[in-house]
Structure 1
């Protein structure tokens, strides 16, 4: 039946909710404020004053000026802008990080967040509420984390000669450094978060290695596991693989794969470091061959001795092995142009220079040329060639002889500065991050376009300023101190996370990298700075930290014990509620076995469940609201309600146990059951006598009853009968709960039972002008207790009759349901409200208190019906649509007649 909460109950619930909210606010350790925007009147809590080092009474009297006087002047402008945007409805909240002057004189960072909660009739903001949170420590930790991350990224990016690729535990690429891009031809954008290492490997090599590993370990190893199998066991593996370039070419590499673990020793990914062996192997062979021939033939000549034909390709008849040093090709390649002609290794742009020798040869003169050769590895070698023609007795040209030597060092010395300047200027002007050359006094000597766009200044405007002008005042001292260490030679370079103030006055968080350029004598010339805007990343990390702190605060303030457990059954986290319930300190519980919270006799069973779930996935360990005995530190046993669920964290299983101490609840339930049993037995005997006496009087056994008195006696008899029904239901429920009700289960045909139920309950239905209709016959046998089955049907049919309109029908039907039979009782009454459906089978449950007065009943019928059904191996349920009626169904096992 249906009941609504009384007014005292509602007030108590509201009071309890208010107290809970107050406890939550106190537990968060956050300052709060309320501000009358129109009058300036302001209210702070004690924590607000503590954040800046005061007691609230020291700040009295308080108003909006209390905040303004302690806020950093440089933050007031942005704070005001954000406040106005909130007033205009552009933002749902006012949210700003600002600095507040502490009583000690230092500045603390606070997260100031609030919103308008009421408005004037003219639409102006009236009352505004919000919070103050101390985030000073968080800001310092973020600075350190950003600095460490930037240093690591700089190191990886500078390793252009080594390919470094990192992946997640399942193989998705998360890092693809410059060396990998150069070696494989892919960009980081094409690989990170999209591809796996399978793209750059030969499938045949991977399959062959997989077969080797599978044979070694006795199980199949394939796919990504081929690369990381040994690393996953904690053993870095180094072996040679073939990398496939984006253009399809292949490179032989030496690859080392190792596992990456976080501070908790949880596997977070893998790191592959590779060096290119192709060029190294080819160059090494050529150098070894050249070295041997050089010692044998022309060990004393610092160049190439040659004799060639006077043709377009300079066809060589003889060439010393020193040519391998200049070109990377052995001399045998050039003899008679067996593999290549000498002209093919001359730089195409310099071929015309070699043709200048023709005129000198025609004049029988010596020639001397300077040009470039293309080495096998792609670099150019500057050479000087001196030669002359050799003629026969008739003056006919026989061949050309000469000597070629390497002048690369001299050319490099001449060109190095010019090449370096061009390269630096190109990188400087096209770099995606801000770059600047800064004078020793801090003035900008040169800035690139990215820095101008970042700060909102034109190049000309920036060159009139110094970096001190745009640096946040709180960050300037640290920056200047590092610059001095750079000048003193204490450090070679530095990185700093700091704030710039752009042309509009907005604060930008930037990552600054600074190095010092010195002249040949070691005297400082200027600084080179790289500036990266990290404002969005900084704010995202800040929001993430705030979220983590919020969740941590909630976890610390819930009333239930929450314990996380690793796969080995060891406790990882232990919240304050767990400390209070079990009596263990957090430090003493973490790292210990979860079974220490259980009585000794349950611990072995827990180990078996954990082992079965870990090895075979048997879900018996996971539970929703199981009641078990638990043990406190002092040895006291109590009843707990335990729910265990599983999560995956960085590829590892974790278990979350939510524990509630229900010992008080169990004690109250026992007291209630004892009370109900006692009261029902003490009332039943006198009430039976009273009801019998009233029946005799109303039946005329003592003579005719006066009309006025008769009405009162009939009401008394009706109420005594209702009270007797309540006591009988209470006794039935008491027996069911105590397990004392006996069941005489027999194999009985269902249809006679349903006919008997309809006949026995039709008189009651007739009182409500309702007809009970039995649907077509179903021949099936069920195992039930005849009396208890009749009680189930009586409860369902009386309910259906009571809640049906006069003149309506109630339908009784039976239908097969797999291995069961479903018996349905359908009415066409008012239906069951959505809000009451979860409590429909609860004790004393009624949707509306007026149902008891108008319809009668104890509120125990459906609860008893559910218990009886389940004790006979069945199930009960219902479907209902408000205003259209309700169908209650009972499913019972079918008796096998074979």
Structure 2
């Protein structure tokens, strides 16, 4: 068997060499099937050297040969059918002491033990020639008579029974072994020599023995607890054979030899305990998470666990038999051998060593090795037990840490920032030279000094709090601390402190980094002063001011805005402008700026003007919006009052002529132009009322008529005064002249009632001229038609309604004309 030069053996070659080294023949027979799929023969597809030698056929000739061509006796002996059953059922073939007339031995009767198992459509088959064993067994039967005589002279005891199981003879040693004399045992049976339970448990074996069946080898040495005469029991092994007469015929009885195995059982129990210990030890080793191995006195691996094999990247089989030198780094071999010599000299029983190993890939591993010597009773070493823990990562980390510390020191010594190490009592152990450039102190003089000694006073409370946090293992920093220069000036330094811990996680020191931020602190203080002045200016502004980001979220407000909408600053900042406006029912913002909002506040409604301006932030992509809010409630009220005065009659409060004409023109241009009615209402005999009761009474009557007209119409209708005693009503949504007449009559009836002036009743009536606006009709035309209808009503006696006829021909021109044009 050859290798490829690296120690690797081809698995196929290894298997072939293993098969050829076996003494028993092994062959692989593959089924040969006919066209229907039935197995009719077998073909040799593999065989070991023993099989070729036994059959007398070389390997090259045997492979491919049919079974029945070589051994035709398989056909009539039934073996071929058995092979077929193995393949079809999958059950193994087991034949012991099978008699077969070997064809190539001239039909000589040969005895075989045969084993076969299915492998797909093949059977793996082996046999052993046990003819000699059979002959020896036969010879043993012939020697049974001699055995009986020999049993009589044994140091333990023997006895012979008849066909009924009664003892007919016992050896003299029975007295020494069981306390019974041979004569006392005569006539007794096995039932008298064991407990009832044990007697019942062996009933089947006794029946087989006395029926003439041969007792198998595995049943020859059963252990029985034989009753002693003193009442105790003795564990004894029974060897049973048939009792033969002088002619060699079986008498029906048995010859039984008994051997005391008390000491043997004790030794076996001890051995079992030792085996259990060994099994537990091996199980513990194999399941250990760390590498473990057992080596002999030369350091050769006798057993390795999976963890060690995985660590060294070998298989367990490859490591067993390998010397530890083969996987030890060359530089560590001498130290390992020296440790082994100390064990052999008896100096120590356990040692530890950190050493390097080389795995199967040639990579170096650092391992913590712990070795214990297992000694014999005489103190000599029997074997070594080794435990191996991979600490490569730890070693590499320590090396990296050492390199990092070295580089850190070099960096700190050349950096502009200050770095120092101090103990938990704040004593400076080391400080970078840059402390002289920043604070003017000599680094060597500060070593051994408490760090607070170079800090400005007034910071003790903060240092106490941070000290407790650091001692608890927390890193602290990001704060600006005041330090004193050597010349007595104050400089601001940003500090960051990190605790250093030992293996037990106890804080042993602190690393502190300091950066000079004096310029930044002074700049922030200056900025804070500017911001404070700006805040005072903003809060003093007469208008409300709000700053929002691009998302419309409030980032700042002044006091005047909070007062304006009755909401505190804390409830405003961080919310969206749309939410704030919705809260005060101000509606949405108009895209046109400035615009106005009507607010619903707890103390009433208010109007504010809202102006928005976009401004840029500090960054290029920052955009903010400045909102200015002014309270225009009073200006709005004045504006609305002036507008009302310009469009309404000052005496009666109804719309004036100008507003009425504009309103009619809008209705005429709208979709409801086909449903607009115009009523000219004239107060009858106003001049007489003025002459009789005075102009004040006349004004009172005019005011009453205006109120009654407004109360008589719907909310969508309008009432106006054209002047003197003339009023006009615009009705929207009138469908026909009949509807127009009905509404006009209703208004006339409600208005035509007396008015009490200075306790005197004054009769009031009105005359009404009505006209329905038709599509395309000019406004002045419909007014003229209503005015003409009014003249007819007055000429016919007043206090009546006259509806103008619809025009026969409607001019489709524009409707921009008005009365008087």
TM-score by length of 2: 0.30
Q: Which has the higher contact order (CA 8 A, sep 6+)?
A: 1
TM-score by length of 1: 0.28
**Structure 1 or 2: more helix by fraction:** 1
Q: Between Structure 1 and Structure 2, whose CA radius of gyration is higher?
A: 2
